[in-house]
């Protein structure tokens, strides 16, 4: 199995040029100036991009602090992974996993720890 990937991603697909080339027009009717700021039918504005980045950064910080707290390792250690994925022993070395074992062994361990 793999562990890690402690990061956040948002994808915005800008269809505005394709829509224009196809001779289409999209009308967006909203309440609130920013309601549709990240829609795919118009080029993403600098303001919208900055707002999305702020949200991604906030979620990323929360994700990092939560993993660090729950795994008992430093936030710096988590940030230094740069959201990479790690397999087996490498994940254990970083403190992102407790052990490497077969699914059957992991299930038996869980049952024993639960006292069932």
For the chain, give every domain's residue range.
2-114
The pLDDT tens digits of the residues spanning 78-109 come to 999 999 999 999 999 999 999 999 999 999 99
Rg for the chain, CA atoms, rounded: 21
| CB half-sphere exposure, 106, CA atoms < 13 A | 8
Instruction: Give the burial string for 52-72 (b: 16+ CB within 10 Å, else e).
Output: eeeeeeeebeebbeebbeebe
Prediction pTM value: 0.84
């Amino acid at each position: 199995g793999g562990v890690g990937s402690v990061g956040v991603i948002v994808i915005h697909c800008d269809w505005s040029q394709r829509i224009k080339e196809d001779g289409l027009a999209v009308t967006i009717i909203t309440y609130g100036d920013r309601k549709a700021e990240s829609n795919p039918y118009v080029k993403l504005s600098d303001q919208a991009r900055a707002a999305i980045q702020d949200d991604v950064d906030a979620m990323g910080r929360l994700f990092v602090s939560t993993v660090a707290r729950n795994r008992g390792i430093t936030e710096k250690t988590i940030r230094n992974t740069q959201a990479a994925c790690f397999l087996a022993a490498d994940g254990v070395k970083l403190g992102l996993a407790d052990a490497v074992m077969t699914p059957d062994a992991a299930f038996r361990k869980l049952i024993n720890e639960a006292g069932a």
